[in-house]
Amino acid sequence: MEAIENLGSMDVLCTDKTGALTEGVIALNATVDPDGRESASVRRLAYLNAALETGIENPLDAAIVAAGEREGLGTAGWRKIDEIPYDFLRKRLTIVAAREEDAAEHWIVTKGAYDQVLEICSTFDRDGVETPLDEAQREHLKDYYRRMGSEGFRMLTLATKRVKARNRYARSDEKSMCLAGFLLFFDPPKADAGKTIRDLAELGIQVKVISGDNRYVTSHLAAAIGLDSQSLLTGEEIAGLKDEALWHRAERTDLFVEVDPQQKERIVRALQRTGHAVGYIGDGINDAPALHAADVGISVEGAVDVARESADVVLLRSDLDVLRLGVQDGRRTFANTLKYISTTTSANFGNMVSINQSPYDE
């Protein structure tokens, strides 16, 4: 019952974009080399990385594996040696594998966010030849990254390195790698997302997007659904802000991008500090701190266990319009509660006076 009241009093809704504002069906659209040309080699290496990793399941790896299996790819002929798991600081995942016919050499295959993978690359693959990755080429790659993001494509970066065989590998081995190419994913906005946001605005609820994705693809989505694509704060900018400054900036910002789990919680608390009742939608492990901090944490039936347990409300359907109906019901419930209290108080007022009246008053 407390969650219903909080849902009704909510005036800011923070949400990730995937699933809530988009269709949530992520598909691998293309695998390209550093020159933007379709590459079967990049697809094979990406499949190897995604199929052999044993960390938390995620829709991007699922899309890579599904696309590979449709093309008949597999891990036959390869043996997994080691894994350097993904974390929210490095934003990359590394698999070490060996060909069964060559035990003396290991392949290090890393995929992850654009900036975090580019920073460990010193060369790039051009027609099978490792070429030095100079500043001019880096700027050319950055332009491609911006352009793809501005067209709505989410992009992962893939890098490789061959090394002499050994038993164990660590994060320090993620260096001097060769940029192999990029993976492009597309998840279109929901057809009714713009209308739902307008409906929520009519109820006095402002929608803010909090996402770990890059600024370009998030801005593209925001423009498509009617949010201000220029009202934006990045995780790097948030890290440089004191709490007081974030209080001021948070309520004037629509998009928070490239953020880590701790920053999601900071944003929620900053909005609360300025007097807002904050709802937060999340379905991943990285959403748990923000879900717990929000006035009303909202998750979905298919979310990870820790997200569902941290939430006050679990949606059976990932649909913001369901929330709109929930807000209306919450406000109706609260209004009815006030009416009941008022009616009961007035009906019992005479009894209260009679009980408290002294017989000597006459």
Which DSSP letter does residue 277 get? Answer: -
How far apart, in whole angstroms, are the C-alpha atoms of residue 285 and residue 305?
A: 8
Element (H, E) at 332: helix 320-347
First-to-final CA distance of the chain: 46
Other beta carbons within 10 Å of 339: 10
Token digits of residue 59:
């829709």
Instruction: Check: CB of residue 350 under 8 Å from CB of residue 358.
Output: no
How far apart, in whole angstroms, are the C-alpha atoms of residue 269 and residue 329?
A: 26
Determine the distance from the C-alpha atom of residue 300 to the mean position of all C-alpha atoms in its chain, rounded to a whole number. Answer: 14
Identify the bridge partners of residue 80 per DSSP, sorted by sequence position. 97
In degrees rounded to 5, what are phi and psi of residue 283? -135, 5
> Which residue among the candidates 16, 61, 125, 187 is catalytic per the annotation?
16
| Active site annotation includes 16 | yes
Other beta carbons within 10 Å of 334: 16
Could you give the 3-state DSSP secondary structure of residue 317? coil
How far apart, in whole angstroms, are the C-alpha atoms of residue 307 and residue 290?
A: 10
Q: Which residues are marked as active site?
A: 16
